[in-house]
Structure 1
Amino acid sequence: MMDIDREQIASNFILKNTSFSGKTAIILGSGLGEYAEVLTSRKHLNYSEIPYYPISNVEGHTGELVIGKVFGKEIIIANGRVHCYEGYDRKRVTFAVRVLKKCGVQNLIITNSSGSLNIENKPGTLMIIKGHMDCTFQNHYQNLKLIKGNNFHSKKLIKLSEKVAIENEIKVTFGNYCWVLGPSYETPEEINYFKSYNGSAVGMSTLPEIEEGKEQGLDVLSLALLTNYAAGINKSILSHGEVIEVASKSKIVLIKILSGIIKGIEE
């Protein structure tokens, strides 16, 4: 039986229904979906309309593609993502990345809401990801390994994002992202372990998308909005509601940084 190219079928559907011809895509994480409202001449496609597209049921993930313009440049936004803790395997979690590539995308901006591992990086801080670690322990014999470098994290897009932050007087930090499976939050002991390997933020997404972006030959930039302190960093009680609330309050920062990056990208 011949394999079905589900990504090609999905991308053909998107292109037929939107006439998208841009080079830049953004994946929006928990509570960050309001950025899609910045786009002009918007066209919306619910994930449920797109053949084979995985659907998220997590609060803060709208579940739609939004195609429109920012500073006259056409972009495509994946407003919401799916996670491994929802029962999806890694191939399904990265389905969107391959579909976006087939739609003609070359620049992929990945965003998420994450927990801060450092007390000096307060909730509301924007972190530019320069390294990542798989902390899922799916291979019990595997020690944590910090992966950095231009192969995964585009030097030119990191430089551009830093420039935009300076121009807009946005304080950013740089750091390493720790991927955990979830859906439960981490223990203080786990957080201390991640910190011992130079982890800076922790979350339940993004790393598979970063690595799939590399596999697809995309220029990848990953931004983490630090929406809470990770377990044990302070005495606050973790909740998804706090994540959504802080993400919403930080929308002006997100609008300025993402729009500035899009404006500065050379196509």
Structure 2
Amino acid sequence: MNNLLKNIKQTKDFIEEKINIEPKIGLILGSGLGTLANEIENPVKIKYEDIPNFPISTVEGHEGQLVIGKLEGKLVIAMQGRFHYYEGYSMNEITFPVRIMKALGVETIIVTNACGGMNKELYPGALMIINDHINFMGDNPLIGKNFEELGPRFPDMSHAYDKDLINITKKVGEDLNIELKSGIYAAISGPYYFSRAELKMLRAIGGDTIGMSTV
């Protein structure tokens, strides 16, 4: 943890040497959604294994690279494949790429995932906007020494999901005639799927979907 600031600078400098833009939007592309990165124009692709201090994605179907360029007129940096607690990485390692995005100039982050639905209104392939979450992962990346330059000691999670972005997403869904649900994402460590009793518990306390990432 004491080397965190040093590692952030080293990784940031490495990536900046390979790009000539300052990305403003970060995308974390979950299972089955990595192909969006293929639409990025003039992409710079950097394999995770080549980036100093970066973990390596071990999940099948995750490409394992950063893709940096322009998407729909916006400067973006996309993670084509992410890291999970169940892979054996620490919370600090899992969240390290998000810290790098911030260091590179990212102001907005969009996180996607494929997950399990518990709400009966959901169906396979349904799209749900996360408007809140329940953290059942049993760990937290902010435990330990706090660096004021990276953020406050006690961040307020009651407004973790930006209402303006949610409203934009809903408007786009209406315009494109795409049905969008919204609800609460329950995060567990995995890698096993929850038991029936555990699922009933999460549903009873307000969870609409369940997954092993994102939060």
TM-score by length of 2: 0.87
By how many angstroms is 1:138 displaced? 5.9
Distance in 2 of aligned mates of 1:119 and 1:3: 46
Distance in 2 of aligned mates of 1:197 and 1:204: 18
Deviations 1:65-114 (A, max 9, x none): 00121222221101111111111111111001100000000000001111
Written as runs of structure 1 = structure 2, the 5 A alignment for 1:180-259 is 180-207=188-215
1:83 equivalent in structure 2? 84
Deviations 1:26-68 (A, max 9, x none): 0011121111111111111001111011111111211100012
1:259 equivalent in structure 2? none
What do you get for the CA RMSD once the two structures are aligned?
1.7
1:163 equivalent in structure 2? 171
Q: Do 1:24 and 1:106's aligned partners in 2 also have CA atoms closer than 8 Å?
A: yes
SS class of match (1:77): strand
SS class of match (1:17): coil
2:105 equivalent in structure 1? 104
Match of 1:179 among 187, 197, 201: 187
**Runs of 4+ with deviation above 6 angstroms:** none
Q: How many residues align?
A: 198
Distance in 2 of aligned mates of 1:79 and 1:59: 12
Distance in 1 of aligned mates of 2:167 and 2:32: 26
1:262 equivalent in structure 2? none
What are structure 1's unaligned runs of at least 5 residues? Answer: 140-146, 208-267
**Residue type matched to 2:21 in 1?**
F
TM-score by length of 1: 0.71
SS class of match (2:182): strand
By how many angstroms is 1:137 displaced? 4.6
1:16 equivalent in structure 2? 17
By how many angstroms is 1:118 displaced? 1.6
**Residue type matched to 1:24 in 2?**
I
2:148 equivalent in structure 1? none
SS class of match (2:31): coil
Q: Do 2:64 and 2:82's aligned partners in 1 also have CA atoms closer than 8 Å?
A: yes
Q: Do 2:23 and 2:68's aligned partners in 1 also have CA atoms closer than 8 Å?
A: no
Distance in 2 of aligned mates of 1:51 and 1:136: 27
By how many angstroms is 1:20 displaced? 2.8
**Identity within the alignment, %:** 38
Q: Do 1:130 and 1:149's aligned partners in 2 also have CA atoms closer than 8 Å?
A: no
SS class of match (2:79): strand
